[in-house]
Chain A
């Protein structure tokens, strides 16, 4: 495992609030890193610091093990959440201009733009003014501009907003392609579905602090609530089901072929014990542990920290 980018103990103070408080993240090379957090948590500030748009008050940042400096800018591609283009400028011209700002030679930029425009089927838009384009079209152009200079680190802030499902899928595929080609991606979104689909690692920032970080499956497992979905075929031994003290029944539903149950295991009870208990009740067709969605993890983690902070605040008073 190799780190492409690392932030250590980054803090940033704005006049009346602390935007980042001792945040550390580590982004593995060739992986998609999800940067999550509720609105106003400080994600955008962190991204801006990575892009060297603003500087941190304290903490250090490393790119490929070296301290982050302006020479790294051309190796980073950034698609901001608040994004736009010059409305009066022609699409092609603008793409060329922005590519050149990233130190890409004009000829090379032209060549790559042609390929990307064909890929996204927007060659016809080259000479149109940006204001004539729909929002989705503009997003496509912006996406192309972000990835055009083949940066080692790509930062996407809500890349799917404004896209219809078909185009969102297209972009998703391109993001995966980019990763497969070796790019490292920092991906910031509120869409937990896409996080599950795309991300390898995540960091969750809440109230300026990094509250959760790690491999996505590990995190999801960590937040497992010992809930199981079990399906029986035919009849079940109902009295015995209700007698057991190793679990509680959250849901019970009779279906045509039998019964569907959702059980929560009492703490310290092993899964095997549950299974052996259940064997007597009926004919098990399926047995699944419920793994929490990222959505659940997100809500749970955020609520936990908020509660903690609130209690801390109360104890201070």
Chain B
């Protein structure tokens, strides 16, 4: 009867219905909103101008055709060819000019040595130089000299080209575009006018990144980003990470590390984590387990608090409205207390089950909607894969925000792929620990409620009750990190912290004996605490207008029924 009343009077409340509906919506929103936000954010990307004085970071600038990065190295050759006056009339001056050009070329090679294996190229060029000198000294007529020189040059060109073509993949934008940021590389622009434009808002750019001429020489310092608005950390990190990678690569190359070796070393590295099963191995799902542990522990925490306090309020309400004396003339105080606790527990379970059902309904109902973001994710995966396959920029894109959607996807997939047995096991234990953890605390809350006249007086008794709950909730991160450690073990055995702590541990297959120990301790403690609380309750509910101390409570415990 009492259970019925407690149950139905609460179920019918508006707040219960609202919470039941809003709960799953919030949970579902937790999954969907980030994906949705990604979608919106993706449509609005920032345009950033890069003033790269040395053209270190933009290989495409070397090319006349910015889109064709593959033959950037030939641009280098072209540059020198422009200097070399092949098409001009051959003369002594011209020969001198050739030397000048060659020297320039070699110097330029030094400048750009970071882009390829410089020794080989300078070697070729040195040979070319010797040959030219040799030919020149033999007093060969100018025409044939020119011809010879051209042949020699083309030969050298071919060797260099051959050497460089192999490395064409090397040349990508050093700061690659992402979904949020687009980089435009500028040369020979006036930084001051650009910044002035930026300031007045006339500029089409959102920010300007300046890489100074002295960047390479002066220990990679002096890079500066300018923006009218605050530069958010996402962009800051993106630029920093991209450049860091690139500088690291430059240094390695300049220290004569072979590009092939470098690319090999820059493999996208994955480790398979396997857990031994009866029938072979299964992929580790530590992340998922961590998440389940977190959610389960947190749910128990919320439920204990929410419904425990409801029990307390209910007791105080009965006490202050003085209906309690009418009721206890019909039923035993113990029955009234347990009826209230069990009734509210059923409310909690109902709400929990409705949440689970509705959340799954909403999530599966939104599958169709979700499939849309899934396409975007696929694109992103493709994009990422492409970038990862590109040597040199590996991991640059490991930007947190970019990772999110795929992570979401994979977790959803993991949940689906998680075997039903483990899931059922976790849910069963969850219900056990939820019910008994709640019962334990609810009886304490009931005792507190009975001892006071108004909710404002509950503070002094609430403290010792809330401390173990708070303790277990703040130790959840420790527990999920090391579920077999001593902290996790003891917290999950001690009855007052075990409901939350054990739930955080359960997803990791912990010994059944420990679970049984924890469960039986919890059960025994509950029975004992319920008995104690009932004694306090019995006296407390009929005690009006009296400030109660712990000493008083101790006396109540000793009264005869």
Near A by CB (< 8 A), chain B positions 533-557 give 538, 542, 544, 552, 555
Known pairs A80-B322, A80-B326, A145-B326. 4 more at Cβ < 8 A? A54-B538, A74-B330, A84-B322, A85-B323
What residue of chain A has the Cβ atom nearest to residue B322's Cβ?
Answer: A84
Flag whether A235 is at the interface (Cβ < 8 A): no
Say how far B182's CB is from chain A's closest CB, in angstroms: 61
C-alpha spacing A218/B226, complex, angstroms:
106
Say how far A138's CB is from chain B's closest CB, in angstroms: 10
Please give me the 3 A-B residue pairs with the lowest Cβ-Cβ distance, nearest first: A84-B322, A84-B321, A80-B325
- Count of A-B contacts with CB under 8 A? 70
**What are 12 A-B contacts defined by CB distance under 8 Å?**
A14-B559, A48-B542, A53-B328, A55-B561, A57-B560, A74-B330, A80-B326, A83-B323, A85-B323, A86-B318, A101-B327, A145-B326
Q: Which of A15, A84, A86, A101 contacts B1 (CB 8 A)?
A: A101
Is there contact, CB below 8 Å, between A98 and B327? yes
Near A by CB (< 8 A), chain B positions 276-321 give 317-318, 320-321
Near A by CB (< 8 A), chain B positions 226-253 give none
Given A97-B1, A101-B1, A87 and B321 contact (CB-CB distance below 8 Å): yes
* B-side interface size class: 20 to 34
C-alpha spacing A190/B561, complex, angstroms:
29
Q: Which of A74, A76, A83 contacts B325 (CB 8 A)?
A: A83
Is there contact, CB below 8 Å, between A82 and B322? yes
Say how far B171's CB is from chain A's closest CB, in angstroms: 75
Given A83-B323, A85-B321, A102 and B542 contact (CB-CB distance below 8 Å): no
The interface of chain A, by Cβ under 8 A from chain B, is: 14-15, 48, 51, 53-55, 57, 70, 73-74, 76, 78-80, 82-89, 97-98, 100-102, 142, 145-146
Flag whether B9 is at the interface (Cβ < 8 A): yes
Is there contact, CB below 8 Å, between B329 and A76? yes
C-alpha spacing A78/B326, complex, angstroms:
7
What residue of chain B has the Cβ atom nearest to residue A97's Cβ?
Answer: B5
Is there contact, CB below 8 Å, between B330 and A101? yes
Is there contact, CB below 8 Å, between A54 and B330? no
Say how far A49's CB is from chain B's closest CB, in angstroms: 11
Residues of B within 8 Å of A85, CB to CB, are: 321, 323, 326
SS of B interface (majority)? helix
Residues of B within 8 Å of A51, CB to CB, are: 328-329
Residues of B within 8 Å of A102, CB to CB, are: 330
Say how far A169's CB is from chain B's closest CB, in angstroms: 24
Residues of A within 8 Å of B1, CB to CB, are: 97, 100-101
Over the window 255-288 of chain B, the binary record of Cβ atoms lying under 8 Å from chain A Cβ atoms (1 yes, 0 no) is 0000000000000000000000000000000000
Given A48-B542, A55-B561, A57-B560, A98 and B325 contact (CB-CB distance below 8 Å): no
Say how far A234's CB is from chain B's closest CB, in angstroms: 61
Residues of A within 8 Å of B329, CB to CB, are: 51, 53, 73, 76, 78, 80
Q: Which of A54, A84, A100 contacts B323 (CB 8 A)?
A: A84
What residue of chain B has the Cβ atom nearest to residue A146's Cβ?
Answer: B326
Is there contact, CB below 8 Å, between B321 and A86? yes
What residue of chain B has the Cβ atom nearest to residue A47's Cβ?
Answer: B329
Residues of B within 8 Å of A97, CB to CB, are: 1, 5
Residues of B within 8 Å of A55, CB to CB, are: 560-561
